[in-house]
Structure 1
Amino acid sequence: MKKSEFLQIIAIIRNNYNNFLFDDLKEALWFDLLKDLPDGAGLANVRRHIMTSKYPPTIADIRQQAEVNHYDQLRIQTAERFAEMERWKQEAVPLPEHLIPKSLTRGDDS
């Protein structure tokens, strides 16, 4: 997460939860604990939280959403990779006979 995204998150939380304050220490702590999130994930998670909860988000709320999103993203990427591998298998050209070791050819009893 970039610092600019984090500042947007703080602004969104401040504007939607009037009694939620960020001092310099709290801001530094939150950024330190959220900075490893993928770009865009923290902002999306805060927006989702605001739409579903009347209480301000905690660091754990924001991270938990990211972990769920990350799992879904990995699941989708894995399915796409398996589909790509299947396409490769279907499109593969057989190895020329002269390159196949004799020990691997069918009917070789030696």
Structure 2
Amino acid sequence: MTKAEVLELFKLIKSIYPNFEVTQEKIDMWADVMKGMDFDRVMARAKEHVTTNKFPPTIAEISAYAPEKNEHLEKFERWKREAAQVPESKKREFYEAVKKLVEDKSK
């Protein structure tokens, strides 16, 4: 998260908890600790927190990271897009060739 995003988070927290102190030092420290976190997920957790807790959240209570990329899934999706561009006649031709190969090898 960036300092601007931490400031946006602090606006939410401060509006719910008026005694929540916002200082430049706190903004800098939270931004440093939260730099790898996903802003939207943190905000969602903060909104959830404020509905059930009478005290402001700590970083540990609202920290959230984006899920790791699944390279296999991305590769599969790319193959699906590429396969969608192959003409049906070429797909049938390939299917028939594989079918013939299987028949020949099973004899």
Q: TM-score, normalised by structure 1?
A: 0.57
| Number of aligned residue pairs | 90
Unaligned runs of 5+ in 2: none
**Contact between 2:14 and 2:20, CA under 8 Å: does it hold in 1?**
yes
1:2, CA displacement in angstroms?
3.9
CA offsets per residue over residues 24-60 of structure 1, 9 Å max, x none?
Answer: 2222111111222224222222111111111110000
Paired position in structure 2 for 1:10: 10
- For the structure 1 residues 101 and 57, does the alpha-carbon distance in structure 2 shift closer, same or farther, using more than 3 Å as the test? same
> Which segment is superposed worse, 51-60 or 9-18?
9-18
Question: Percent of pairs identical after alignment?
Answer: 29
For 2:62 and 2:106, locate their aligned partners in 1 and report how far apart those are by CA, in whole Å: 64
Measured at CA, do residues 5 and 109 of structure 1 come closer, stay the same or move farther in structure 2, by a change above 3 Å?
closer
* Residue identity in the other structure for 2:43: L
The offset of 1:101, in angstroms, is: 9.5
Match of 1:97 in 2: 96
Q: Is the 8 A contact 1:5 1:40 kept in 2?
A: no
Give the counterpart letter for 1:26 in structure 2.
Answer: K
Q: How does 1:1-110 map to 2 (within 5 A)?
A: 1-63=1-63, 66=64, 93=91, 95-98=94-97, 100=98, 104-106=101-103, 108=105
Instruction: Give structure 1 stretches of 5+ with no counterpart.
Output: none
